[in-house]
Structure 1
């Protein structure tokens, strides 16, 4: 798993950059209309979903649980497609779509971090990103009443934090590429 992760570090990096750009956009334009926020979220989840699926497909020969990344990617694609199909949805529906996607993604990332704990150092970054996703999703579900501005800032904060963690993890596993490529076949 570590070899595949190290070879595909750029997928994590792109997901991290997309999250950071989404977060910056949320802070630069806090007065966005709900429709604009829906479209921005839809674009982000589509990009994230596509790259999660790419990561899952690229690991299918090496990993027994490659389908977990594909599942996370499909959740992102579904969330993105739904937001583009119904851009006029209410804030509450958007909130629950974001919350559900965040929880599913977080659970899958925590599971991946647990599997990586014996293979790399700093696997806690992926676990922390997953926990942040789960907490974010739960908070959105139990506190659906904040105003649109608070929602934009909450989503922006989450996206920035999540994106930074994914970028740090991406560059950490990128640094392992040489070590992994020098490792003899069958070495542990």
Structure 2
């Protein structure tokens, strides 16, 4: 009889462990819950947005070179494009470095990815403006400027969405 109770107790214990084990292993600990975006994260992203806006304004200023039909031969124009491109590359490195520190499935990750979107549209706009230097056709210039402004608007939209997300905390 004693043997029977030990087997029964062991069976019940094993059954309970089997039943509750999946619940315990699937339960989230507090540390694995999504992080609430911190003030530091917000400040870092706002700093990146500020740098990107400055570069966007510098890119926009390049459109002022194209007032007439004559081809642009200014070495200043080419040097400005190269300078902005270098600054964009440096900003990309900073954003990428920060991206590697945020959790992969989080609000912070989403916000950095939106920042990358805005960055890529800005870089596309700069590249499009660099093509203007080699074209003499007015129609091609208009098409390239249209592409530039589409990229600029897309970058601004991504930045505005990012600002809206940041304003929620």
TM-score between the two structures when normalised by the length of structure 1: 0.40
With CA pairs under 8 Å and 6+ residues apart, which has the higher RCO, 1 or 2?
Answer: 1
Structure with max Cα Rg: 2
